[in-house]
Amino acid sequence: MKHLPSGTERGATLVELLVAMPIAALIVAGVAGILFQLSTAHVFATNMVQCDREVQRAGASMSQDTVQAQSVSDANYSNAGTVQIAPAQDGHIAGTEVLVVQWSDWNNNIQKVSYSLLPVGGSSLRTLQRTVQINGSTTDSHIAADHIDNSPDPATLLPRTRFEWTSNEKQVVRMVVTSEYGDQSVTRVYEAHPRSMV
């Protein structure tokens, strides 16, 4: 019988290969599963952060304007006797104003701020546009928040983003804002006392 010289390596046998291949496949599948879970968690966290950011942007802007208000326009809501504020309830129409507030500044200029929901092409989501007028002339118009969900909530049938009085006394404005990114959504409720109604 011939012996291999010392220092010469043998190749793997067929049995060793058959045992090693499933073990390697299990390791690869495990690593792939971990990477998939990490990717899914990253997307989830990113979408939640984006939703939080948008509702905070909207809430901060509207709260600041509403606190300054000496008047809040609510004369034209569609259902008389409700606490809804929006001059028009159909947020799917471009330029629909959902919140209009007005006040006089220290220089006796009349400032009017309007918030409108604008459709985004091919999406059910809206952008929230803030328009400022001083003495009737528009001085600024910009997007206050993106990815705003204005669709009806199946549980309440109310829009997921809406503006209303907290009671029939009309002293406190409630703003319910919902943002959606991917399959994540965040809803926040803000309340503000217009200065003329405190």
Three-state SS sequence of the chain: CCCCCCCCCCCCCHHHHHHHHHHHHHHHHHHHHHHHHHHHHHHHHHHHHHHHHHHHHHHHHHHHHHHHCCEECCCCCCCCCCCECCCCCCCCCCCEEEEEEEEECCCCCEEEEEEEEEECCCCCEEEEEEEEEECCEEEEEEEEEEEEECCECCCCCCECCEEEECCCCCCCEEEEEEEEECCEEEEEEEEECCHHHC
Question: In terms of residue numbers, what domain contains 181?
Answer: 46-197
pLDDT at 177: 92
Percent of the chain with pLDDT over 90: 21
Task: Establish if 128 belongs to a structural domain.
Answer: yes
Percent residues over pLDDT 70 in the chain: 84
Q: Judge whether 77 and 89 are in contact, CB under 8 Å.
A: yes
User: 12 or 22, which is more confident?
Assistant: 22
Split into its structural domains, the chain has a count of 1
pLDDT band, very low/low/confident/very high, at 81 (cuts 50, 70, 90): low
Contact between 176 and 189 (Cβ < 8 Å): yes
Residue 182 lies in a domain: yes
Instruction: Let me know if residue 140 belongs to a domain.
Output: yes
Residue 15 placed within a domain: no
Task: Provide φ and ψ at 14, rounded to 5°.
Answer: -60, -40
Q: Give pLDDT tens digits for 104-127.
A: 888 888 999 988 888 877 777 889
Residue 71 lies in a domain: yes
> What's the rounded Cα separation, in Å, for the pair 160 and 120?
17
Question: Does 13 reside within a domain?
Answer: no
